[in-house]
Amino acid sequence: MAIAEVPARPRASSRQGPFVNEPFYDFRHEENARKMRAAIERVRGQLGREYDLIIGGKHVKTTDKIKSLNPSRPSQIVGIHQKAGKDQVEPAMQAALKTFESWRNTSVEERASLLFRVGDLLRQRKMDLMAWLVFEVSKNWGEADADISETIDFCEFYAREALRLAKTEAPVQLPGERDSLMYIPLGVGAVIPPWNFPCAIMAGMTLASIVSGNTVILKPSSDSPTIAAKFVELLEEAGMPEGVVNFCPGSGAAFGDAIVSHPKTRYIAFTGSREVGLHINRSAATQAPGQIWIKRTILEMGGKDAIIVDADADIDSAVEGVAQSAFGFQGQKCSACSRAIVDERVYDKFLEQLKARVEKITVGDPAENSNMGAVINEGSMKTVLGYIEQGKKDGRLITGGERATEAGEGYYIKPTVIADIAPKSKLEQEEIFGPVLAVIKSRGFDHALEIANDTEFGLTGAVYTKSRDKIDRAIRDFHVGNLYFNRKCTGAMVGAHPFGGFNMSGTDSKSGGPDYLYLFTQAKSVGEKIG
- Render 441-504 in DSSP notation, one character per residue: EESSHHHHHHHHH-SSEESEEEEE-S-HHHHHHHHHH---SEEEESS-S----TTTS-B--EET
377: left (phi over 0), alpha (psi -120 to 50) or beta: beta
Q: What is d(CA 244, CA 222) in angstroms, rounded to the nearest whole number?
A: 21
Report whether 43 contacts 11 (CB < 8 A): no
Distance from the first to the final alpha carbon of the chain: 64
- Sheet containing 305-309: give its strands across: 396-399, 416-419, 436-442, 337-343, 305-309, 460-464, 482-485
Catalytic machinery residues: 300, 334
Between β-strands 188-192 and 265-271, what pairing exists: parallel, antiparallel or unpaired?
Answer: parallel
Write 392-399 long-range contacts (CB < 8 A, 24+).
Answer: 392/418, 394/418, 394/421, 394/422, 394/425, 394/426, 394/427, 395/419, 395/420, 395/421, 395/422, 395/427, 395/438, 395/439, 396/420, 398/351, 398/354, 398/355, 398/358, 398/439, 399/355, 399/358, 399/359
